[in-house]
Chains A and B, each alone.
Chain A
Amino acid sequence: MAAAVATSSWKSRRRRVYQSVFQTDISQPTPYSTPSARFTEQGQPFGGHLPLSDLDRQLHHASRTLAASPDAAPAARQPPPGQLQTGDGLYRRDAVASSPFAPTATASFASPQPLPTGPRGQQDAAEDQMRYDRAWHVVTSRIVLPASATAEDSFGTLAPDSQYSQGGGQGVSSEAQFYEALGLVVNAPKVLPRAAHTEDILSWHTQQVRKHFAQHVLPLLSACAEGLLDEEDLRDSTGRGSYEKHMIIVMSSVRTLEAAMRLYSYGMQLLVRGIQRVQTVDKENAATDPELVAGRFRRDVHSLVSNSASPQLIRSLRVVLLHLAGNILGVPAQKRGVNGEGEGVRPAPPSDNDLNSLAARKRLLELLDPLYSVGLAGERFQILFAEIMDGIMCDFVKGAYAGVWVASSEKHGLFRGSAVTGPRPIARAVSSPCVVSLSDWVENHYARLAIEVLSRISDDPSQSPVTLSDVKTYQSLALGRLASLRISELFDIVLAWPSSRGALDDLRAAITTPARRLQLTDCFAAQLQRRLLHPGRSTLEILQTYIAMIRTFHALDHSKVLLSRVSPSLQLYLCGREDAVRIVVTGLLASPDEIRAARNERQMREEQEGTPRGGRQARTPQNGAFMTPALPPRRGLRSRHGTPDVEEPGVRDVPPASAASAGGGTHSTKLVELALLMTDPIQSRRAGGADEDADLDWNDLSWLPDPIDAGANYKRPRSEDVIGTLISALGSPDTFIREFQVIVAERLLSDQARFDQEVRVLNLLKKRFGEAALQNCDVMIRDIHDSRRLDGAIRKVQGVKDGGEQPGTPRPAATTPTNPAPRLRAAAPSSPASAGAPYHARILSRLFWPNLEREHFLLPTPVQDQQKDYEQGYEHLKASRKLTWLNQLGQATVELELQDRTVTLDCKTYEATVIYAFQSPDPGPARRTVSDLEEQLQMDDDLISSALSFWVSKGVLSRRGDVYTVLETAASSSSPPSSSPASPTSAEALPPPTESEPAAPAVVVDEKEAQRRAVYWQYIRGMLTNAAATMPLGQMAMMMKMLIADGFPWSNEELQEFLAEKVGEGELEIVGGKYRLVKK
């Protein structure tokens, strides 16, 4: 006995450990499969918590039937269920057992025994307890679960069979016995009131199921999951490659669970049926509804299953769901593989007869029922499903609409003619095709799938899982996604203007809340900083983008509130670009030819746009089930305007150059758009007619209240007004006007014959800024016109004098009393003819012109003479005024007679003066150095150098060291230096060249390049010798930029390449990322 107690205490300790793990406080009254073999070891009382031996002792004490040795008691507990064994000390049980318990039971029902008192009562209690224990045993051994499950279906199919066979073997009597026993167990409180240790059979079964599940089913499940997946599948987080494997895992898990559920519910059914039968006997006692109990049990088991589902299983389930739902909704799963691989297939709503989608739908719905029945469709599943649906919506919106910016075609067609500048009618009611197709997709596919899935896994079939308002929520969610997509694309949309109108329609439909508007401006401002406002962008590109921005944002939001939030950083940046105003003004002043060219080009571009569009539609059907007519494939779009692909962020930064040139055409040197806008009647009308009473216009059907996020001083702008916005971005109008004056002055002083464009732009600007602001320009233009007249008058006087006037070349020359700019037309070097060269001047009113510096130098004598004559002529006409000559601003036509050729060139006066100085009567070689010329002409050396390089570039002079020599023959490099004697024929008697000079310009370039590289190499050597022995690339590039007077045109990459060459030649080495000279 001592040994037995020790064993049992050890067992109970072990049980406590087990219970602490499995949370089971319910006893295991019967052994699993072979009760007789392990009965004593079970160590559990029937219904009690005390160790069996103790209980026995109590029982025996209580019944005072301890005649037999205590050792017999364990033996008495050995009989198998249903078989009664006569044992000494258990005669009462014998008596009960020999007759079926039913009579006794009914008897006790009929006449409940009086409460036991004293020893007799104790004996009754023991008797009741024993009967209860026996009934308990019968019931539990009937519904006990198989102890082990070695194979997947060992308990799935065999167990019930064995139980049935067991039941069959024992015949009907055992069935009856079971129900009797069950009746006893269930009604224990009434039938066996004295049985102290009773228990709820249902919770026992539940507990048994729990334990069984933990011990036998879970290992099987994890075996299902782990067996199939190899390392690669585990690493692949999306699991897309291994859908089949995951499907197998899910299916086998589900089958395993199904089998287990069958097993569990078998026992439950027995119990429920039995309870029902028992309760039909005693209606009054129907305290517990067996259906309710069964439902609770089912819920219990389901929560058990879903809570213990392993992460692997959930993962597999996710993959499977993702795949199936993706296919159903037209978001192909393989699309997200390697970049560009699945590029051809865009997600698109599947058509009704798309086999792929139908099959996937069938598969999914088939899968759902077993999932639901085994309890895997619980809360976790719903969360999983929600996540997947959410992901699919994202994928769909991203995949299907990224870069699809087509406007609704009919409307676009209507406005195509005036699309460039035409105002866009406010189209709030009309949704864009993307929005329409998206909400259609949500309604007909997305919500449908959600309904189908959720209704199948819902516990309450009467209630629709997805209401109409849910569908609306889905749609607004999808629209939000589309909005964020468009917001992230907005910069590219701007670049692609105006072919990206459709995207703006989407955006306009979506940005309805201040939060989204804020998100839009924030995101765009960030992109602007990153992609546009850096030194890598030319001012022209920035301005072109800004124009596109103004127009895009106007189309998006007429109120300009959005634009005003993104433009400050750009305006600030433009202030740092000195050439911005100049580019704008020259753009405004673009000549009609340039405008025409730009127009043609735009037309051509639109025609090109038209062709792929047609081609695309023709191609659409071939693209199969995933294409809808409303959604053109991406490829066509890309070829159309070379927009950067959104999915390749690396490329994104680069294209704006190309995109800008695509958006702004190839006229990359001038901002011709401005001239186009300027001449556009709509623009100018709108700009001109500022209607103060706009808000009182009751007939304005497109009136909208001010945006909610408008600032305090917000004033509704009336129009797009690109030019106005652009100019205001450049600072105050004054700055703009001042710059405009300077540029107009330059143009007026050029040799341009007519100034129609300038006058026209001036008139347009006057409308914008007012007459007074542009008065100076008026005067300047009048000066030029006046000087033509005056010039004619003076020429008439002089014409008598020298008669050399050629009416065909009436170059106006003019001077103002103090500030004249001479224009000379002089064949400078031809001294005999120079007297007759026509000389014209333009006379400027000093006060009204921008400040023009005066450069002093000595003109060639013949010209000087003419200048004097002209001055006299002028003073003759306007006695009180005096001319001050601005010699450097003039123009001259120079004719050079060289030994083998005659060069005629239009050039600046100072250039003509310099080349005139090379004229020499000597037959010897005409050579000059800069300092010679400086002395001779009293000219600034900068001007001389610039003039000399001009002539060198024209192939008239050659340079050796400091000395410049006239190139008498063009191909002098091939002729021997001494073979060409001085040519007496040339009037100027220019000396022959004494040196060879490379003739072909290409060679010159190469040689120059080589020279430059040699010099740069010297710099680098000097730097590494003296400044620091080792230097990183960036510092070297910086030093080069700082130190080379003419600027260092190379980029860091070019420098790196050059250095790499030197490393290859063994001159340099790289140590720790820094360059170092190789020591020799």
Chain B
Amino acid sequence: MEDIQNSAPGSVPAGKLGARKGADPSQNAAKRLQTELMQLMTSPAPGVSAFPSGDGNLLAWNATIEGPADTPYSGLTFKLSFEFPSNYPYAPPTVLYKTPIYHPNVDFSGRICLDILKDKWTPAYNIQSVLLSLQSLLGEPNNASPLNGEAAELWDKDPALFKGKVMDRHKDIGDD
């Protein structure tokens, strides 16, 4: 929000004004991600966080979602990986669950079925909105187009069993 607070007022030199234009697309992506990171940091949303992975590549991030209360996932923590294309934000990032999760819209390899990560993506979305969508998906799965049919069935039929399956499947992964 206060993204210009650190720049000294009136400090745009004449030279910079000229040379500012025309960066290559991946630099744009990096710049955008940097800005998004700053946003995430200055106004963090509860229960979600994201950060570039430690290898110095700004196009690969890791994220964490805490399972919302009043859902079977309450109290659990899920790790995700984000991979951004070089033309981000004009194309959606690839998002995967790293933590094994039992969920109607997530398959066993962590792939997610979420429209905004596919055809409904617009550049107006950002990492935070994606994370919040995923968080809400935990409480309200889209059972109409399940990747995990059994889970979709159990969700309505047998919440207790579902919860058990969730707990069975969940396994905290260590880092690295």
Q: Are B4 and A962 in contact (CB under 8 A)?
A: no
Distance of A1011 Cα from B41 Cα, bound (Å):
11
Minimum C-beta distance from B22 to chain A (A): 12
- A1025–B176 alpha-carbon span in the complex (Å): 12
> What's the nearest-Cβ distance from chain B to residue A153, in Å?
80
Residues of B contacting A853 in the complex (Cβ-Cβ under 8 angstroms) = 14, 17-19
Q: Is A1030 an interface residue (CB 8 A)?
A: yes
Nearest CB of B to A56, in Å: 96
Contacts of B14 in A (CB 8 A): 746, 852-853, 888-889
Query: Of the candidates A907, A949, A1008, A1043, which one forms a contact with B52 in the assembled complex, judged by CB atoms under 8 Å apart?
Result: A1043
Contacts of A1027 in B (CB 8 A): 51-54, 62
Of B30-38, B87-95, B132-140, B150-158, the one with at least 4 CB within 8 A of chain A: B30-38
Contacts A853-B18, A1029-B174, A1030-B175; A1011 near B5 (Cβ below 8 A)? yes
The reply to whether A1045 and B11 contact each other, CB–CB distance below 8 Å, is: no
**CA separation between A961 and B2, bound complex, in Å?**
7
In the assembled complex, A27 has its CB within 8 A of some CB on chain B: no
Q: Which residues of B contact A1018 (CB under 8 A)?
A: 40-42, 44
B1 touches which one: A945, A948, A962, A1030 (CB < 8 A)? Answer: A962
Q: Given A943-B12, A946-B10, A1027-B51, is A1043 in contact with B58 using a C-beta cutoff of 8 Å? A: yes
Closest to B81 in A: A1026
Instruction: Convert A889-918 into 0s and 1s, putting 1 for each residue whose CB lies closer than 8 angstroms to a CB of B.
Output: 100000000000000000110010000000
Q: B56 on the interface (CB 8 Å rule)?
A: yes
Q: In the complex, what residues of A have CB within 8 A of residue B52's CB?
A: 1027, 1039, 1043
Query: Are A908 and B10 neighbours in the complex by a CB distance under 8 Å?
Result: yes
The answer to whether the Cβ of A985 comes within 8 Å of any Cβ in the partner chain is: no
In the complex, chain B residues whose CB is within 8 Å of the CB of A855: 17
A697 at interface, CB cutoff 8 A: no
* Inter-subunit contact A1015/B51 (CB<8 Å): no
Q: Report the minimal beta-carbon distance from B33 to chain A, rounded to whole angstroms.
A: 9
B146 to chain A, nearest CB (A): 28
Residues in A whose Cβ lies below 8 Å from that of B3: 1045-1046
A1039 and B54: CB pair below 8 A?
yes
Q: Is the CB of A1028 within 8 A of B9?
A: no
Interface size class of B (residues with CB under 8 A): 35 or more
Residues of B within 8 A of A951 (CB): 9
Chain A residue numbers with a CB within 8 Å of B63 are 1026
Residues of chain B within 8 A of A950, CB atoms compared: 9-10
Q: Say whether A952 faces chain B, with CB atoms less than 8 Å apart.
A: yes
Residues of chain A at interface, number, CB under 8 A: 52
Q: Are A1045 and B54 in contact (CB under 8 A)?
A: no
Cβ of B61 < 8 Å from any Cβ of A?
yes
A1012 within 8 A of B: yes
- The reply on A204 being an interface residue by CB < 8 A is no
A200 to B37, CA, bound (A): 103
Contact, CB under 8 Å: B42 / A946: no
User: Does B112 lie at the interface of the complex (its beta carbon under 8 Å from any beta carbon of A)?
Assistant: no
Residues from chain B with Cβ under 8 Å of A1044 in the complex: 34, 38
Interface presence of B29 (CB below 8 A) = no
Once the chains are docked, how many angstroms separate the CA of A1012 from the CA of B42? 9
From B62, which residue of chain A is reached at the shortest CB distance?
A1026
Shortest Cβ distance from residue B20 to the other chain A in the assembled complex, whole angstroms: 6
A1015 and B41 contact, CB distance less than 8 A: yes
A794→B12 CA distance, assembly (Å):
31
Is the pair A949, B4 in contact by a Cβ cutoff of 8 Å? yes
B15 at the A interface (CB under 8 A): yes
Q: Inside 8 A of A1008's CB, which chain B residues have their CB? A: 5
A1046 touches B6 (CB 8 A): yes
**CB-CB < 8 A to B56: which residues of A?**
1038-1039, 1042
Contact present for B5 and A943 (CB under 8 Å): no
Asked if B50 and A1022 make an inter-chain contact with CB atoms under 8 angstroms apart, the answer reads yes
Asked if B64 is at the interface (CB within 8 A of a chain A CB), the reply is yes
Which residues from B are CB-within-8-Å of A852?
Answer: 14, 18
Q: Is A1021 an interface residue (CB 8 A)?
A: yes
What does the 1/0 interface line of B142-165 toward A look like (CB < 8 Å)? Answer: 000000000000000000000000
Asked whether, in the complex, the Cβ of A1021 is within 8 Å of the Cβ of B17, the reply is no
A1026 and B53 contact, Cβ closer than 8 Å, known pairs A946-B11, A1043-B58 = yes
Please give the distance in Å from B167's CB to the nearest CB on chain A: 19
Whether B20 lies near A942 (C-beta < 8 A) is yes
Partner of A945, one of B4, B31, B34, B53: B4
Q: Which of A851, A951, A953, A1022 has the largest count of B CB atoms less than 10 A from its CB?
A: A1022
Which chain A residue has the least Cβ–Cβ distance from B61? A1026
**20 A–B contacts, CB within 8 A, in A order:** A851-B18, A855-B17, A947-B10, A948-B4, A949-B8, A949-B10, A951-B9, A953-B9, A1015-B38, A1021-B49, A1022-B49, A1022-B51, A1026-B61, A1026-B62, A1027-B54, A1030-B175, A1039-B52, A1039-B56, A1042-B56, A1045-B35
Top 5 closest pairs, chain A to chain B, by CB:
A853-B18, A1022-B51, A1026-B62, A1026-B51, A1029-B175
Where the two chains meet, the residues of A that have a C-beta atom closer than 8 Å to any C-beta of B are 742, 746, 851-853, 855, 888-889, 907-908, 911, 940, 942-943, 945-954, 959, 961-962, 1008, 1011-1012, 1015, 1018-1019, 1021-1023, 1025-1031, 1035, 1038-1039, 1042-1047
